[in-house]
Structure 1
Amino acid sequence: MGPLSGGHINPAVTLGVLLSGKISPLGAVAYWIAQFAGATVAAFVIWALTRWGDVVDQTGALGTNGYGVHINLGGAAVLETVLTFLFVLVVLVVTGRGEHAAFAGVPIGLALAGAHLVGLTLDGTSVNPARSFGPALFEGGSALRQLWVFIVFPLLGGALAALVAPLILRPGTGGRGPAARVATPRP
């Protein structure tokens, strides 16, 4: 999907790309509308399957995010900020180098999998405000009341990643950070 759409299925990634100057504000808004609409449609399909398709919801809450059982509000805020920061940083650094385009999905997928391994049992791992939005709409209750945490803090993590990425991808080094510049053999 990357070559077709930029692979933007996560509003936090889109924010990071916007703040990095690689997408226009109008383009970012268009992506955000599509992301939240897509998440809503996907959540509706899951909700419908659990209601009318005999699909069993193992989470009991359509896979919504939440805090209060295994982590408190402050912990969820820090967790979502840090996990999203790391994920979006990987996205920005890997996609910031054209020669990595063919395999960019590998480190991005591994970063997302790592984020889920760390956060899934704690708060359900958002790192994607749209992914949290859709199920919360159909689940309601505490999932909807707590949704703001899973929108605000992943966006904060994405914004912080956009601030740090240029330190790794320095201009004038071919997109490489200082460590890569030193390790490059000279002809």
Structure 2
Amino acid sequence: MSAKAYRAEFLGTLILVLFGCGSAVFAGDHITYTGISLAFGLAIVTVAYGFGHLSGAHVNPAVTLGVLVSGRMNPGTAVGYMVAQCLGALGGTAVIYLIATGMGQHAGQFGQNMFAPGTMQAALVFEFVATFIFVLMILGVTSRSGNSMMAGLAIGLTLTAIHLVGIPITGTSVNPARSLGPALFAGGQALQQLWLFIVVPLAGGLVAGLAHRLLLETD
């Protein structure tokens, strides 16, 4: 696998975190949940069309795991993608930190994922089901029988819809890297709950990859 693919995953994840989480940090009070959801979706559209030809624009370890399990990627490349994605998420959060501190703001909010006390069940169910749907859809639209020209738009719209539902529940992760960067910078409760936003989306991606390979693959 070309080093360009790993660089694309790093930059793509950085852009996703910067635009998505950044919209929540700097403009959330003005654009509300709808605007934040669109920011995440539009960021994915941008990355998909900008870097898709280099790496497939996974920008998400759960997506990479689903692609691996579906038989479209080898394990070594998948690990490289995941490392690049996590580093990209840290880079995107670092940019948010630098902007916030440069504006004289308290840099304690990074768009981190959390769930309220007593709502772990809701967080588990949502993150698993939403990631399963997201990864399954990605595998479908990027298959040889899918409409590759529209894939980026379809993926972005799906992520927008997922955020519209999930922001009040967990802030919406469906992406371990997206959760990792903000949690490491925020610390506290976000870091304590990070395990859920790593384990559950990965499980959703794994099951989606298996389901696509065993039940839906037409190639």
**TM-score, normalized by the shorter chain, greater than 0.5:** yes
Aligned to 2:89: 39
Structure 2: segments with no counterpart, 5+ residues: 1-50
Distance in 2, Cα, partners of 1:134 & 1:95: 27
Quote the offset at 1:65 in angstroms.
Answer: 0.5
Q: Which of the numbers 162, 169, 175 marks the counterpart of 2:217? A: 169
CA distance in 2: counterparts of 1:61 and 1:165, whole angstroms: 37
Determine if the alignment matches structure 1 residue 61 to structure 2 residue 109.
Answer: yes
**Which AA in structure 2 matches 1:96?**
S
Identity of aligned residues (%): 49
C-alpha distance after superposition, 1:112-157 (max 9, x if no partner): 1111011011110000100000000000000000001000000011
Contact 2:113-2:173 within 8 A present in 1 as well? yes
Equivalent in the alignment of 1:146: 193
Q: Which has the higher helix share?
A: 2
Check the 8 A contact 2:62/2:204 in 1, yes or no.
yes
Which residue number in structure 1 is paired with residue 76 of structure 2? 26
- Structure-2 change in CA distance of 1:156 and 1:52 (3 Å): same
1:129 correspondence with 2:179: no
Alignment match, 1:184: none
Q: Which residue of 2 aligns with 1:80?
A: 127
DSSP 3-state at the match of 1:125: coil
Q: CA deviation at 1:16?
A: 0.2
**TM-score, length of structure 1 as denominator length:** 0.84
Deviation of 1:51 after TM superposition, in Å, equals 1.7
Task: Give the superposition deviation at 1:97.
Answer: 2.6
CA distance in 2, matches of 1:142, 1:136: 8
Which residue number corresponds to residue 157 of structure 1?
A: 204
Partner SS, residue 80 of structure 1? helix
Shift of 1:29: 0.6
Question: Where in structure 2 are the equivalents of 1:101-112 lying within 5 Å?
Answer: 101-112=148-159
Q: Structure 1: how far apart are the matches of 2:97 and 2:77?
A: 30
Aligned to 1:17: 67
Q: CA deviation at 1:102?
A: 1.2
RMSD of equivalent CA atoms: 1.7
SS at match of 1:22: coil
1:21 to partner: Cα distance: 1.2
Which consecutive unaligned segments of at least 5 residues does structure 1 have?
Answer: 176-187
- Quick check: which has more Rg, 1 or 2? 1
- The answer on whether the counterparts of 2:65 and 2:205 sit within 8 Å (CA) in structure 1 is yes
